[in-house]
């Protein structure tokens, strides 16, 4: 008999589990069902950071929805992955904002475009979202121009009504502080007003900068997660001359330091499961076990279904097809690999598929 796509995913996942190296001796058991965090909502199916994207994630069973936060000129927290918004809104099509185009250095990188801090909230609300990855997610472009840029308040209200958690990320807090728009006090005020100021509240606050989380630890009591990249140095370290890298912070000593201000880490997934030069999995690291030993949970990022983001062994379809990289591969097998290594949660652009792979 012929096999369905679901059957193919399950069978290929089983074969991969047998053929690829998997040493779980360095891992420790995670929760029975890892938390599913809708990365920028359900950004695989709707333009990211829109109420439609968050709502879609909730419909698909996400435990948490993730709003990235930046600030407007008048100090309002709004949901965009970056403060440069030409890639995710139609701002370039607004002639009244043509003179706002600028080149700025954000965390050491020169960027040209339009920036949230140069717009009031009222002006931001005249813009409409568009798909960030149209080449890979052509279906999402059907929604271009339909949705506003939401505020953090709007996302908090949506999550409360749906009884799901929120997992906000403070973006570029060092930069915003330098231009006179510090983020932490504004964020803490929102957390308290929403009744989320406790360890048991359905919220994690995340950031790639230690200084911001340390400041917040003195303002609010909710759970905090330090985000980690596989390469480089935290921006706040660069600003103060601290020579430690993300790799240094991933050591047992570094994790003990993180545990003084955070409850978990959000590592790039290659920090747990490295790959070789061809993109194939190699031996897992000890990061899961080391983090758990320090009392930290692990929520790695980001699990995406398109072949473009998957190891070669998990890609499905005809490699000669024009849309091969946009086709969906076996993300379920990738997620199951990480679950076997002991993670406590994960970020996915496709929370429904992620939930199906873990429950």
Residue 83, preceding bond cis, omega within 30 degrees?
A: no
- 150-160: burial string, b at 16+ Cβ within 10 Å, e else: bbbebbbebbe
Q: Which helix (H) or strand (E) holds 235?
A: helix 235-240
Distance separating alpha carbons of residues 92 and 88, to the nearest angstrom? 10
E strand or H helix that includes residue 154: helix 152-162
CA 47 remoteness from chain centre: 14
Among the options 33, 49, 81, 172, which is catalytic? Answer: 81
Q: Which listed residue (39, 172, 292, 328) is catalytic? A: 39
Query: Following CA atoms 271, 256, 299, 304 in sequence, which dihedral angle do they give, to the nearest 10 degrees?
Result: -20
Q: Where are the extended beta strands (E) located within 99-174?
A: 102-106, 109-113, 165-166, 169-170
Closest by CA to 41, choosing from 354, 349, 358, 339, is 349
Burial tier of 309 (Cβ tally within 10 Å: 0-12, 13-18, 19+): middle
Annotated active-site residue 81? The verdict is yes
For residues 357 and 337, the answer to whether their CB atoms sit within 8 Å is no
Tell me the C-alpha to C-alpha distance, in Å, between residue 322 and each of 142, 304, 307, 319.
Answer: 20, 19, 12, 8
Residue 328 among the catalytic residues: no
SS3 letters across 314-356:
HCCCCCCCCCHHHCECCHHHHHHHHHHCCCCEEEECCHHHHHH
Give the residue numbers marked as catalytic: 39, 81
């Amino acid at each position: 008999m012929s096999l369905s796509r679901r059957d193919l995913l399950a069978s290929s996942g089983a074969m991969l589990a047998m053929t690829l190296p998997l040493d779980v001796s360095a891992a420790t058991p995670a929760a029975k069902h890892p938390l599913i965090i809708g990365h920028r909502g359900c950004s695989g199916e709707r333009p990211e950071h829109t109420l439609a994207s968050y709502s879609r994630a909730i419909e698909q069973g996400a435990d948490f929805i993730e709003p990235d936060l930046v600030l407007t000129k008048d100090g309002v927290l709004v949901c965009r992955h970056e403060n440069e918004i030409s890639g995710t809104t139609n701002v370039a099509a607004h002639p009244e904002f043509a003179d706002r185009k600028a080149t700025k250095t954000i965390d050491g990188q020169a960027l040209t475009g339009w920036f949230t801090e140069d717009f009031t909230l009222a002006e931001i609300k005249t813009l409409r979202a568009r798909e960030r990855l149209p080449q890979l997610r052509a279906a999402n472009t059907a929604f271009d121009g339909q949705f506003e840029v939401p505020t953090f308040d709007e996302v908090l209200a949506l999550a409360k009504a749906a009884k799901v958690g929120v997992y906000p990320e403070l973006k570029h807090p060092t930069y915003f502080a330098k231009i006179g728009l510090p983020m932490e006090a504004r964020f803490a005020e929102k957390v308290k007003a929403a009744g989320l100021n406790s360890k048991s509240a359905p919220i994690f606050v995340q950031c790639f900068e230690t200084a911001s989380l340390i400041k917040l630890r003195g303002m609010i009591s909710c759970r905090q997660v330090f985000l980690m990249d596989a390469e480089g140095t935290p921006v706040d370290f660069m600003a103060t001359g601290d020579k430690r890298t993300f790799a240094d912070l991933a050591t047992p000593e570094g994790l003990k330091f993180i545990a003084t201000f955070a409850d978990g880490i959000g590592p790039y997934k290659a920090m747990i499961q490295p790959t070789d030069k061809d993109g194939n999995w190699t031996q897992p690291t000890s990061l899961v076990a080391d983090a758990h030993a320090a009392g930290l949970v692990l929520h790695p990022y980001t699990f995406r279904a398109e072949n473009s983001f998957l190891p070669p062994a998990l890609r499905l379809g005809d490699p000669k097809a024009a849309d091969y990289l946009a086709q969906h591969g076996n993300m379920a097998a990738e997620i199951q690999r990480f679950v076997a290594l002991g993670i406590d949660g994960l970020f996915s652009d496709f929370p429904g598929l992620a939930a199906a792979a873990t429950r």
